[in-house]
Amino acid sequence: MPIEKNLDDILNTKSKVKILRLFTSRTSDFMASGREIAALIGVSPPAAHSALKELYNLNILKREIIGKQHLYKINSSNRTVKDILQPAFRKEVLIKEDIKNFLLKKIKDYKIGPSIVSLIFYGSITKGKTHQNSDCDVAVITKDSFSKKRTEDVFIGKIYSDFYKYFGFSLDTYIKTLKEFRARRDRNLTPVSALMKSYNVIYGVDPHRL
C-alpha cells in the first residue's frame, strides 16, 4: 500500500466506514468487542470482525486481548486518525450547524432578515432520521404578504441553487406569513402540527411564542 494513499484501504468498505464513524463519535478510551461493535453499527459479526482486523493491521485501531475477548479502541495517536479521520467524521456530524450558518449568511447577504419573523428546522433533520434522498425541511415565517413574496423570490431564485451546489441535496421550504402560520398552528393542521412537536429555531422567534 502506498503510504500517501492509505485512505484507499481504510475507507474501502461500508463496514469500515461505520466502525470509524462509531469510534470517532465516542471518547478516545471507548473499547468494545467485535460482537458489540457489530450490534452497534448494524452489520453481521463476521463482517465486523473482518473490518476490525483490517483496521487493526492498518494501525487505525488498537486491540487488547482480555481472556477470550478481543477489545478494540481507536488509535488516537495515529496521524491519519488524528489529522484526517476524526476531523472528517466530526464535521459530518455538524451538518445541521453548517446548514444553519449557511442560511444565516444568505439571509444577511440577500438582506431579507427584516422580512423574516422565524426560520425553523423541522422534519427528519431534527429527528436524526435523514436518509440518502432526504431534503432539508425549513419553515420560514414572514411578517406579512409583501415580506412573503420577497422571501419566496430570494429563496426560489437564489438560495435554492446556492444550497444545492454547496450541500448536494435540496432545501425544501415551507413559507407562510405570521397570520397563516398561527391559523394552522391553532387549528392543529399539517405540517405545522408535526413541526410543533420537533423543531429547532435557526433565526428569530420560537413558534410557540408567535
pLDDT tens-digit map of 31-43: 999 999 999 999 9
Q: What is the pLDDT of residue 59?
A: 96
pLDDT at 6: 83
From residue 39, how far is each of 18, 32, 46, 47, 52 by CA, in Å? 11, 11, 12, 11, 14
Strand 136-142 relative to strand 171-177: parallel, antiparallel, unpaired?
A: parallel
Q: Where in the chain is the domain with CATH 1.10.10.10?
A: 3-76
* Bigger pLDDT: 132 vs 70: 70
Q: What is the pLDDT of residues 56-114, one digit of tens each?
A: 999 999 999 999 899 999 999 999 999 999 999 988 778 889 999 999 999 999 999 99
Percent of all residues in the chain with a pLDDT value above 70, rounded to a whole number: 95
More confident position, 57 or 127: 57
93-207 CATH, one of 3.40.190.10, 1.10.730.10, 3.30.460.10, 2.60.450.10: 3.30.460.10
Closest CA to 69 of 94, 17, 30, 34: 34
pLDDT value of residue 164: 97
**Residue 1 pLDDT > 80, yes or no?**
no
**3-76: which CATH topology?**
Arc Repressor Mutant, subunit A (1.10.10)
* pLDDT greater at residue 193 or residue 1: 193
Please answer whether residues 178 and 144 qualify as being in contact, where contact means their C-beta atoms are separated by less than 8 angstroms.
yes
Per residue in 174-200, pLDDT (tens digit) is 999 999 999 999 999 999 999 999 899
**Residue limits of CATH 3.30.460.10 in the chain:** 93-207
Residue pair 142/175 in contact (Cβ under 8 Å)? The answer is: yes
Given its phi and psi angles, is residue 166 left (phi above 0), alpha (psi -120 to 50 degrees) or beta? alpha
The backbone torsions φ and ψ at residue 88, rounded to the nearest 5 degrees and listed phi first, read -65, -45
Q: Which three cell numbers stand for residue 119?
A: 426560520
If pLDDT is split at 50, 70 and 90, which confidence band does 131 have? low
H/E stretch holding 183 = helix 178-186
